[in-house]
Structure 1
Amino acid sequence: MSDKVFIAPRLVGSRFEDHTLPVNILEDFTALEDLLIEVAKGIYLTENPNRKRVPKGFSDGIYLKLVEIDEGSSIAKFAIASMIALNSTLPLENLNNFTYFEKAKDRIISVVESVNNGNLPTEVDYKLLSYFSKIGKNLLDDESIDFGYDYSSKTSSKAILNKATRKKLLLSGEQKTEYIDNIKLFARIPEIDQKNNTF
């Protein structure tokens, strides 16, 4: 594997025991990619108070790509990549923005950790918490994602997102983001009368 691993979340639960990823879980990582970009922009603006906007092309073409799924339940190894590096018409300083994405990853991990330690996130813009309406949405009751998992030393972190953590994150914002969950509804219909259109 030639790509440098950017983040390697460990997914635990019955659906991941065969070291694969259900397709609907990839939606969660799409939302994580969006959150990384927003947090990276916020960090850039905080560190550069003289700027009102991020530089042109700050996140153009930057994306996460799944490079491997390892065993240990399922460990999804993602590299961060950029189309700009391959076909650059933008200034070279835009290629140095990867450091902001590293910092964004660390910030997201620390927010999930803080909630698991019993603290509410304070340093994060509350609008960013709304991204957790999509991240973790497809987890089942027995499943979790460890965003801070260290795949090289195979050690877990406290940045574990499960249904309970996700709910705390979504309800911790000032605007109390709506909490949405996937549910299954089962019903028993004892009689259907097609003639009278009743059941």
Structure 2
Amino acid sequence: MKNNQKKFLTPTLEGDRFKTKSVPVEFLQELSVIQDLIFELAKDIYKKEHPTRSRLPNHFLDGISLRLLDIKKGSSIMELDLDTSEIEALDLSNDTYSYLEKAKNLLIKDLENIDIEDNNSILSKPKYANYFIRIGRHLRPNETMFLNRTGRKKYGKLTNDIRAKVLNRPYVGLTIDKFEIYADVTSIDKKNQTFTISESGLLVSASLALIDIQLLVKSLADVELVTKVLIKGTGKFDSTGRLQVIDRVDEATLIDPYDVHSRIDELMLIKDGWLDGEGKAPNKKGLLKLLTFYDKFVPKTFIKPAIFPRPDGNIQFEWSSSEYEIDAVIDLMDFKSRLHSLNFENEKETIKNFDLSTKVGWKSMNLLINEAL
């Protein structure tokens, strides 16, 4: 073996499929994920051991890669070497090997101790456990992967049952329940096959296999409007009732960015001081009562308003067209509304007051808006 090649890892596959000297191509993809996990863990170990450093050393992982050297008979035994030839060719100084060894050993140790409750285990952290969404995913029943092998000794056993424990490990103590949420899609990660949503200010990631990716792409298509997605499914919740994990998606629907229900949900999350330390939060009971009036007195086909909070704790509806700009300030205590409209062509302004706790008030306001727009 060349000096720039160090024997590093010997993943082993056992089962009827692997008795010949061959490895299904999908498992070669999993080796790449194992490399990504070990490299990420090595970086975090370095940061933990050097808390005063804000950055990794230059070229910390540059020029290092795992390469498949050989596949041995009996079971599919894959010898992986750590190739550092690029480092030597570039004459770079790199002290990464020891951290990669630490990362490998820590991963194998925690995988073997998956049944022991240990909050310090790396597999208690979603960041690392989620790599197993792609590691071991192609194993069939009665098949086993070992992450490493030395002679006859095998380490880091992985089966379908163990993989399920790894994926569930960060979420022990969570309760399972159905949910229906309005959420913003914040990102799609095709490499890791995940998507991330923001729900009540909390980021939640899930597998792309659970949802129609085209729906997610459409929700991100307009950079000016945040298009929400209504998601119904089953997930895991912590003790405060916050959604932590999406296990299943039964239905996902794009929501109109001007959807009144989802916007009211957002306004209910606002807290005092939302405007540069000032600004009163809208009254939640008032918001819910206003929504009841809106559903009762406004036709579903009516032009939806943009809705904004006001510093005094009330809210403002806005409509606009090429000719008009209309806003209605609504008091959330008595539901009195002051509407102001401006005609851009003749600069005519109109100011009207309406009682939005009554059918007559809504009908009169809707008529004025409909005539203008």
| TM-score normalised by L of structure 1 | 0.78
Match of 2:57 in 1: 55
Show CA shifts across 1:104-131 (max 9, x none). 110110121011x444563314311111
Q: Secondary structure at the match of 2:23?
A: coil
Q: Secondary structure at the match of 1:5?
A: strand
Match of 2:301 in 1: none
Q: Secondary structure at the match of 2:70?
A: strand
CA distance in 2, matches of 1:114, 1:180: 29
Asked if 1:170 is matched to 2:167, the reply is yes
Q: For 1:17-166, list aligned pairs within 5 A.
A: 17-88=19-90, 90=92, 92=93, 95-115=94-114, 117-119=115-117, 122-124=120-122, 125-150=125-150, 152=151, 154-157=152-155, 159-166=156-163
Q: CA deviation at 1:156?
A: 2.6
CA distance in 1, matches of 2:112, 2:134: 18
CA distance in 2, matches of 1:179, 1:167: 15
Q: Secondary structure at the match of 1:149?
A: strand
CA distance in 2, matches of 1:18, 1:72: 7
Conservation of the 8 A alpha-carbon contact between 1:167 and 1:179? no
For 2:149, give the aligned amino acid.
Y
Residues 1:71 and 1:61: Cα distance change in structure 2 (over 3 Å) = same
For 2:22, give the aligned amino acid.
T
Show CA shifts across 1:76-133 (max 9, x none). 110011353232264x1xx211110011110110121011x44456331431111111
Aligned length: 174
Q: CA deviation at 1:180?
A: 9.1
Q: Secondary structure at the match of 2:24?
A: coil
CA distance in 2, matches of 1:61, 1:128: 23
For 2:95, give the aligned amino acid.
N
CA distance in 2, matches of 1:121, 1:4: 33
Q: Secondary structure at the match of 2:90?
A: coil
Conservation of the 8 A alpha-carbon contact between 1:133 and 1:180? no
CA distance in 1, matches of 2:118, 2:17: 30
CA distance in 2, matches of 1:121, 1:72: 38
| TM-score normalised by L of structure 2 | 0.43
In structure 2, which of residues 8, 13, 35 is the aligned counterpart of residue 6 of structure 1?
A: 8
Larger Rg: 2
For 2:40, give the aligned amino acid.
E
Show CA shifts across 1:58-81 (max 9, x none). 112321100011123111110011
Q: CA deviation at 1:56?
A: 2.2
CA distance in 2, matches of 1:123, 1:129: 10
Moved over 6 A (4+): none
Residues 1:12 and 1:104: Cα distance change in structure 2 (over 3 Å) = same
Please report the RMSD computed on the Cα atoms of aligned residues, expressed in angstroms: 2.4
Residues 1:47 and 1:112: Cα distance change in structure 2 (over 3 Å) = same
Q: CA deviation at 1:178?
A: 5.3
Q: Secondary structure at the match of 2:162?
A: helix
Stretches of structure 1 lacking an aligned partner (at least 5 in a row): 182-199
Q: Secondary structure at the match of 2:163?
A: helix
For 2:20, give the aligned amino acid.
D
Show CA shifts across 1:3-52 (max 9, x none). 43201122101111112111011111010010011000011011111112
Q: Secondary structure at the match of 2:96?
A: helix
Stretch of structure 1 that moved more, 139-148 or 27-36: 139-148
Conservation of the 8 A alpha-carbon contact between 2:20 and 2:74? no
CA distance in 2, matches of 1:121, 1:180: 28
Q: CA deviation at 1:161?
A: 0.6
Higher relative contact order (CA 8 A, sep 6+): 1
